[in-house]
Amino acid sequence: MEIKKIAGDSFQTEVTEAGVPVLLDFYADWCGPCKAQLPVLEQAAEEACDVKFCKVNVDEEPRLAEQFQVMQVPTMLIMNGEQIFRRITGFHPLEEILEFLEM
């Protein structure tokens, strides 16, 4: 499954109105741990078909990063509608990501 890149104007449609849980990855292109996390998230997206995966570049979307109080990257939020179920910071291996998604 593709990880959808989110911009401020598509956030509501893609995340809060998704109708399924969403893993939202806040990242930066210059961030080494973010680069390492991406293939793990791509693999998790293949395995967790009932979860939508989205990503937000904090340099391109600083308002979204501020809105969700993202202080470091990578930061991942697991959301359903407007509710945040879990905030995850730093790099995590596939097994942990899949465990985080068990709600």
> What are the tens digits of pLDDT across the range 25-49?
999 999 999 999 999 999 999 999 8
Task: Among 8-12, 43-47, 50-54, 64-68, name the one with the lowest average pLDDT.
Answer: 8-12
| pLDDT for residue 103 is more than 70 | no
Residue 62 parent element (H or E)? helix 62-67
| pLDDT for residue 1 is more than 90 | no
- Active-site residue identified among 31, 40, 94, 98: 31
| pLDDT for residue 8 is more than 90 | no
Q: Measured between alpha carbons, how far is 65 from 70 in angstroms, rounded to an integer?
A: 5
Q: Which domains does the chain have, with CATH numbers?
A: 4-98 (3.40.30.10)
- Active-site residue identified among 15, 34, 58, 73: 34
The candidate with the shortest Cα–Cα distance to 7, out of 64, 49, 46, 51, is 64
Higher per-residue confidence, 2 vs 83? 83
Average pLDDT in the 51-58 region? 98
Would you tell me how many other CB atoms lie within 10 Å of the CB of residue 5? 15
| pLDDT for residue 83 is more than 80 | yes
The reply to whether 49 belongs to the active site is no
Q: HSE (CB half, 13 Å, CA atoms) of 45?
A: 18
Question: What is the sign of the dihedral through the CA atoms of 91, 27, 49 and 77?
Answer: positive
